[in-house]
Amino acid sequence: MLDSSWSFAIEDSKLPNNGILTVFPKGVSILLIKKAKKIYAVSNKCAHMACALSGGTLEGYTLKCPCHDWKFDIRTGEFLSAKEIKIPTYQWKVSDGKIYLKI
């Protein structure tokens, strides 16, 4: 049983490999990305001026913001040009075919 810090995000079957989806557990806008059957969960809000990263592009593990092209590593949340700047990343779990995020 997961404790209350874990929130249901979406059915795992709805996130295909190489898929990107925006989910809103506890009202927080989070991007879920599945690559090589591994899940990455990062904030949907750019660290620069809060543009929605869901409109950006993903190349490898690099997510590029659609507004001013800041690039983030989805594995760590780090801004590639200054690693001390990060977007939040979230722990995830799959249980009974459902993806949960620790918020």
Positions touching ligand FES (CB under 6 A) are: 46, 48-49, 51, 65, 67-68, 70
Nearest distance from C-beta of residue 49 to ligand FES, angstroms: 4
Whichever of 77 and 99 has its CB closer to ligand FES, that residue is: 77
Whichever of 2 and 49 has its CB closer to ligand FES, that residue is: 49
The Cα 4–Cα 85 span in angstroms is 29
The Cα 59–Cα 98 span in angstroms is 26
Whichever of 14 and 68 has its CB closer to ligand FES, that residue is: 68
Q: Pairing between strand 71-73 and 62-64?
A: antiparallel
